[in-house]
């Protein structure tokens, strides 16, 4: 009796893999420049993976400020090129490659780099960019465009004594609020210009009264004065202040 009971208890402790997990032959991954970055969803069901794929693409359309550039250690600053990809476990009837229609309506051939998987579907994907804002931790407290607009523009939008002037200086977006400065450091000057344009649009949509957008001052007579002002404010060197990207 005891012996049989012991065997029963031992058997009950054995953990068998979930049948549902074992059948998760579909995965949704995020790639950039042909390399997998994240595996964000898996399922056993073709219907469910298609539904999730559509939901993620709808969310992608709502991204306010998409990532366009990546800061790579060896390659420097490069195009991001994010894609949302469904891969499935390869079956004997599957071809090595598949042709998928891109955003321009043309068919593009996709081949998985893993011989055990094949590409099922793929689409361009937007991810929200985050920025280093001076005064906040450069990696742990990166801020979105929405955060910047909410905290530096909307917060005191009805205070006429907090008049703002907004400038671009190389890869830096500077907000001067009645002498008090805020500064956003972008990956490059193109991102700074793109952020500036987005903030102009958001300010117009919100009908902000006490904001003036002064454009790019990198080639104006104000450039040297601003370099000195920023060096005094941040304690940074001239070399650091005059960089045109986040690369050294």
Write down the pLDDT at residue 16. Answer: 44
Higher pLDDT, 116 or 103: 116
Contacts of 11 by beta carbon, 8 Å cutoff, 6+ apart: none
Question: Are the beta carbons of 85 and 124 closer than 8 angstroms?
Answer: no
Task: Please check the confidence at residue 117 and state whether its pLDDT lies above 90.
Answer: no
Backbone angles phi, psi at 51, to 5 degrees: -65, -45
Confidence of residue 139 (pLDDT cuts 50, 70, 90): confident
Higher pLDDT, 199 or 100: 199
**Strand ranges, E, within the chain:** 26-32, 35-43, 69-72, 76-79, 82-89, 97-101, 107-111, 117-124, 130-133, 143-144, 164-169, 172-177, 180-185, 211-216
User: Which tokens is 187 given?
Assistant: 């990956």
Write down the pLDDT at residue 247. Answer: 72
Higher pLDDT, 98 or 10: 98
Rounded Cα gap, residues 200 and 145, in angstroms: 12
Task: Please check the confidence at residue 104 and state whether its pLDDT lies above 80.
Answer: no
Q: Nearest CA to 198 among 128, 104, 123?
A: 128
Q: Is 237 helix (H, G, I), strand (E, B) or coil?
A: coil
Write down the pLDDT at residue 55. Answer: 97
Task: Please check the confidence at residue 218 and state whether its pLDDT lies above 60.
Answer: yes
Q: Nearest CA to 230 among 183, 194, 186, 191?
A: 183
Write down the pLDDT at residue 1. Answer: 43
pLDDT digits over 174-212, tens only?
A: 999 999 999 999 999 999 999 999 999 999 999 999 999
Confidence of residue 129 (pLDDT cuts 50, 70, 90): very high
Task: Please check the confidence at residue 36 and state whether its pLDDT lies above 90.
Answer: no
Confidence of residue 54 (pLDDT cuts 50, 70, 90): very high
Write down the pLDDT at residue 4. Answer: 46
User: Which tokens is 51 given?
Assistant: 């539904």
Backbone angles phi, psi at 212, to 5 degrees: -125, 125
Write down the pLDDT at residue 90. Answer: 79
Q: Calculate the average pLDDT of the chain.
A: 85
Question: Are the beta carbons of 49 and 57 closer than 8 angstroms?
Answer: no
């Amino acid at each position: 009796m005891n012996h049989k009971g012991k065997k029963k208890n031992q058997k009950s402790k054995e953990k068998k893999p979930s049948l549902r997990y074992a059948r998760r032959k579909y995965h949704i991954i995020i790639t950039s420049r042909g390399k997998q970055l994240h595996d964000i969803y898996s399922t056993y069901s073709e219907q469910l993976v298609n539904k999730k794929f559509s939901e993620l693409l709808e969310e992608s359309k709502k991204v306010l400020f998409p990532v366009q550039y990546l800061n790579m250690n060896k390659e420097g600053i490069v195009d991001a090129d994010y894609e949302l990809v469904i891969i499935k476990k390869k079956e004997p009837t599957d071809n090595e490659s598949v042709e998928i229609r891109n955003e321009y309506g043309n068919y593009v051939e996709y081949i998985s780099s893993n011989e055990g998987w094949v590409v099922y579907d793929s689409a361009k994907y937007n991810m929200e960019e985050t920025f280093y804002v001076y005064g906040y931790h450069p990696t742990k407290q990166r801020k979105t465009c929405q955060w910047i607009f909410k905290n530096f523009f909307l917060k005191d939008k009805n205070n006429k004594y907090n008049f703002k002037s907004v400038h671009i200086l190389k890869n830096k977006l500077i907000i001067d609020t009645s002498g008090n400065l805020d500064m956003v450091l972008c990956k490059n000057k193109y991102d700074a210009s793109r952020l500036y344009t987005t903030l102009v649009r958001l300010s117009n949509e919100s009908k902000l009264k006490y904001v003036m957008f002064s454009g790019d001052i990198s080639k104006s007579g104000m450039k040297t004065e601003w370099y000195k002002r920023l060096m005094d404010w941040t304690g940074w060197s001239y070399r650091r202040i005059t960089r045109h990207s986040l690369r050294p």
